[in-house]
Chain A
């Protein structure tokens, strides 16, 4: 899966916006979106929120986990723990990127948040690399990857599975020839 596709999926997450127009309830295929009234918050999927923001029809509210103290805590905890800690949101990376790119004026302390999320991401990717390395080294057959987001899995998943497949083939083809030799 592409990173772009993962982002596409992440765009279905709901975020809160404050529209500056009014519109009655719309019935989309995926669900209903409540009536829009200027100044009143409403939840919409991210793709719609970004689009409205680009047309300057709304103001975005940061999700409640996008807060400097909370993110600092998460980052510190991630650094302490050996395993993966629960993430703020299953698509935290994509949401952060989209929101900060398009609506950084609506997000307080956008730069700090960007740095914190990046730290979190780097820590998790480092852990992922280490654990993939040990997985391959010890020839494990199974790994549990709770608390990993789709984007993280996707970033190294394709390579990892291909590598494991090759190794498996090499390994299984090794044994018969050994037995024939003996």
Chain B
């Protein structure tokens, strides 16, 4: 199946229509505002790509909606559009690392396996939406690179190499994010497909179009393989395998580490010990916790906590 390549056919590449005229928000120093329509706001802040962002049932976000500053995307609105204002390093010192961190976090943490699935459960367009978002930045990086090389060929090696280094770093983050998604898809493919089928028409997809094709093909291939290897030799009444039951579901009871973005009160903690002592805790902003995923699942979805 096609592995994700940086070339995404699409429309998205063309520059998001409806991009808010705004680059007004941008500082005049925004890199290549003229070259890259999205004006590279796609600092690829992980937050923007982060699946947690959007609340359930939100309109499909597109890079377009990027107009909103991504900083703390209101759950109601669109997803953390990738684009965001660019300020100098000082301004974003905290954000950029966090964002990429968040991005990496969401992907790399094993617990996030269940997470993404959970997100998928809620029909978050985050995954799907973020895919769209991701497409364009990847595309844009390519374009940025080309422009870069053209314009800077004569401007000295140092600048070019610095830009190239940064590009590589961003590409690494992006690709590890995508790799993580593919890993999750491969691990839980029947459940993902099931969720896709169940999702109502109005809700945005959790997968990008390419991912959806990938899942379907993966499923077909697996079924074909099982059939050819074993099933067709079985007695006729045993020739079906229910992949939904055969493949383990994402485990929503696993423990995860999290960092709190917004203060939360009265989170119920249910110890599984014999004494039934459910108790509530408050989550202070900026604190870190270790807790079962199920209790905080909606908070992850709304972006109030961040997984580590």
Band of interface residues on B: 35 or more
| One of A14, A30, A43, A48 near B43 (C-beta < 8 A) | A30
| One of B90, B96, B273, B288 near A12 (C-beta < 8 A) | B96
- Does A26 lie within 8 Å of B271, measured CB to CB? no
- Does A141 lie within 8 Å of B31, measured CB to CB? no
- Does A29 lie within 8 Å of B43, measured CB to CB? yes
Indicate with 1 or 0, residue by residue over B281-306, a CB within 8 angstroms of chain A CB atoms: 10000111111100000000000000
Q: Classify the secondary structure of A's interface with B.
A: mixed
The total of chain A residues at the interface (CB under 8 A) is: 51
Residues of chain B with a CB closer than 8 A to A8's CB:
104, 169, 172
The distance from the CB of A50 to the nearest CB of chain B, in whole angstroms, is: 11
| One of A9, A45, A157 near B89 (C-beta < 8 A) | A45
What CA separation (Å) do A35 and B111 show in the bound complex?
A: 42
- Does B291 lie within 8 Å of A31, measured CB to CB? no
Q: Which of A112-169 contact B (CB under 8 A)?
A: 135, 139-146, 148, 150, 153, 157-158, 160-162, 164-165, 168-169
With most chain A CB atoms within 10 A of its CB, the pick from B110, B253, B290 is B290
- Does B108 lie within 8 Å of A30, measured CB to CB? no
Residues of chain A with a CB closer than 8 A to B104's CB:
1, 5, 8-9
Name B30's closest neighbour in chain A (CB-CB).
A27
Q: Write 5 A-B pairs (CB below 8 A) sorted by A numbering.
A: A8-B169, A30-B43, A31-B88, A145-B257, A165-B251
- A residues adjacent to B (C-beta < 8 A): 1-2, 5, 8-9, 11-14, 21, 23, 25-34, 43-45, 47-48, 51, 57, 135, 139-146, 148, 150, 153, 157-158, 160-162, 164-165, 168-169, 171-172
